[in-house]
Structure 1
C-alpha cells in the first residue's frame, strides 16, 4: 500500500518551489505530486508573496485582491526508501504540518 506525505505551505510560491525540488532534485514523478487548497476556497496561501507583493519600482503598491483563504497543501507519494529525504526537502522550502498516511 502506498504511503503519502502531506505538507502545508503559507504561500503558493513555497508550494510550487517544493514541487520543483521533489521532481527535479529527488526524481519524484510529477504525477505523484499534487497541490491543492486546504479548504473549499481557492487560495494562494495565508500571506502575500510573488506577484501579490509590491515590486521594487517606486510608486508600486501591494495588491489587495489576493485570494488569502488558507494554506496550500502538497501531497507526494512515498517510496519505501525516500521518505526522510523528501521530508527534509519539503521542510527546507518552508513546509509546516507534515503528516504521513
Structure 2
C-alpha cells in the first residue's frame, strides 16, 4: 500500500546486473532501506534478464549457456514523492530501459 506523499516506482532492466546496480544506487545515494526494494522477473519464469551480462558473457572456454534468459527484471520501490525525479535519474543511469510511477 502506498503511503500518502509517496509513490511506487517500477523500473525494468535487461540484466540482473543492472537491476543490482540500481539497488545499490537507491540504497547508497537515496538512503532507501534495501528490504523495501523488490526485484523480480517480469515473466513467470526464472531469469537473469533478457540479454547476457557479466558471468553470462563469453570467456576463455567459450560462451556460457546456463544463464536463464527468460525475460526482463523488474525493480519496484515505494519512495517519497519529492525524490521521484532523482530516483528516476538514478535508475536510468543504472541501465533501466523503462521507468514508471503510480
> TM-score scaled to structure 1, two decimals?
0.90
After superposition, the CA RMSD in angstroms is 1.1
Distance in 2, Cα, partners of 1:33 & 1:65: 27
Does residue 39 in structure 1 map to residue 26 in structure 2? no
Q: Deviations over 1:23-74 (max 9, x none)?
A: 011111112211000011110000110111123xxx4211012100000000
- TM-score norm. by structure 2 comes to 0.89
Structure 2: any 5+ residue segments left out of the alignment?
A: none
Count of residue correspondences: 98
Deviations 1:61-93 (A, max 9, x none): 110121000000001111131111000000011
